[in-house]
């Protein structure tokens, strides 16, 4: 359990940033596919825009009118977003392991719950802001919210004292070779695969039923 004021503060800050980070990751799913199709992009191309975020996170953590320009701009934006998210995920998990050494599993699940809640809220808020102000507004409002929360963390988080229990370091391949970890990774991979599939394909299929962007956001 969270016992000290310091731990409560750290939990609130990391949970808040996870929430807004997830919103920014998922906000475009109700309207981006339709906008990309308007620009002449194929489903494979705008699917790459969605998928490159997770691909960049996977690589980094361990260690327009023309359709092509539109897709390339989206990919670059998502890569930059993923770089920041990778740094944040690595830092937040390290802080949790350091500050909540007696109940790491509980805190990890709590933080993941905040991220999951953000994935639920993100498409709905993104769709609403898109209807109210067009393509630009969701990214401005929710991106600013994430920026404010990161500044909040910068000034509110207490100083961290890094301690090392061992000089030895286990590599990623060594960790994955452990059966329980490998099974957990497989479960996460499968769940992420299904979520990514829905992000790319749900909006175009729901549009066949003349659904509004808000309705798509609720389903997303």
- Out of 3-7, 152-156, 183-187, 208-212, the most confident range is 183-187
Please give the pLDDT value at position 110: 85
Q: What is the pLDDT of residues 37-53, one digit of tens each?
A: 777 777 777 777 767 76
Residues 110 and 183 grouped into a single domain: no
Please give the pLDDT value at position 69: 64
Residues 123 and 209 grouped into a single domain: no
Q: Is the pLDDT of residue 180 over 70?
A: yes
Residues 183 and 154 grouped into a single domain: no
Q: What is the mean pLDDT of residues 14-36?
A: 79
Per-position DSSP letters for 80-95, written without gaps between them: HHHHHHHHHHHHHHHH
Q: Is the pLDDT of residue 178 over 80?
A: yes
Residues 122 and 191 grouped into a single domain: no
Contact criterion met (CB below 8 Å) for 39 and 67: yes
Of 160, 181, 209, which residue sits at a domain end? 160
The residue among 218 and 102 whose pLDDT is bigger is 102
Residues 138 and 213 grouped into a single domain: no
Domain boundaries, position 103? 5-160
Query: Which pTM does this prediction carry?
Result: 0.67
Residues 178 and 144 grouped into a single domain: no
Locus of tokens 């953590």 = 61
Q: What is the mean pLDDT of residues 168-179?
A: 75
Please give the pLDDT value at position 73: 63
Please give the pLDDT value at position 67: 64
Please report, for the chain, how many H helices and E strands are present, in that order. Answer: 9, 0
Please give the pLDDT value at position 133: 84
Residues 139 and 199 grouped into a single domain: no
The residue among 137 and 166 whose pLDDT is bigger is 137
The residue among 64 and 37 whose pLDDT is bigger is 37
Residues 115 and 148 grouped into a single domain: yes
C-alpha to C-alpha distance for 10 and 143, rounded to whole angstroms: 22
The pair of three-digit structure tokens given for residue 126, joined into one six-digit string:
């993104």
Residues 31 and 133 grouped into a single domain: yes
Residues 155 and 173 grouped into a single domain: no
C-alpha to C-alpha distance for 174 and 158, rounded to whole angstroms: 33
Please give the pLDDT value at position 165: 57
The residue among 110 and 57 whose pLDDT is bigger is 110
Nearest Cα to Cα of residue 216 among 2, 9, 30: 30
Domain count, the chain: 2
Nearest Cα to Cα of residue 107 among 123, 125, 92, 126: 92
Q: What is the pLDDT of residues 185-215, one digit of tens each?
A: 888 888 877 777 777 777 777 777 777 777 7
Residues 101 and 201 grouped into a single domain: no
Residues 154 and 204 grouped into a single domain: no
């Amino acid at each position: 359990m969270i016992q000290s004021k310091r731990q409560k503060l750290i939990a609130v800050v990391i949970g808040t940033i996870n929430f807004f980070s997830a919103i920014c990751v998922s906000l475009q799913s109700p309207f981006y596919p339709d906008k990309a199709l308007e620009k002449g992009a194929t489903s494979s191309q705008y699917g790459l825009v969605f998928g490159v975020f997770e691909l960049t996170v996977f690589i980094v953590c361990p260690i327009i009118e023309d359709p092509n320009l539109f897709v390339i701009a989206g990919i670059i934006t998502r890569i930059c977003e993923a770089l920041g998210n990778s740094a944040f995920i690595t830092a937040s998990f390290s802080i949790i392991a350091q500050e909540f050494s007696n109940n790491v599993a509980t805190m990890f699940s709590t933080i993941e719950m905040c991220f999951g809640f953000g994935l639920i809220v993100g498409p709905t808020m993104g769709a609403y802001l898109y209807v109210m102000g067009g393509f630009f507004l969701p990214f401005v409002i929710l991106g600013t919210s994430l920026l404010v929360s990161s500044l909040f963390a910068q000034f509110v988080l207490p100083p961290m004292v890094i301690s090392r229990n061992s000089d030895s370091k286990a590599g990623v391949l060594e960790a994955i070779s452990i059966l329980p970890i490998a099974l957990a990774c497989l479960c996460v991979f499968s769940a992420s695969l299904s979520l990514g599939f829905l992000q790319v394909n749900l909006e175009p299929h729901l549009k066949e039923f003349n659904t509004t962007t808000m309705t798509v956001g609720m389903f997303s």
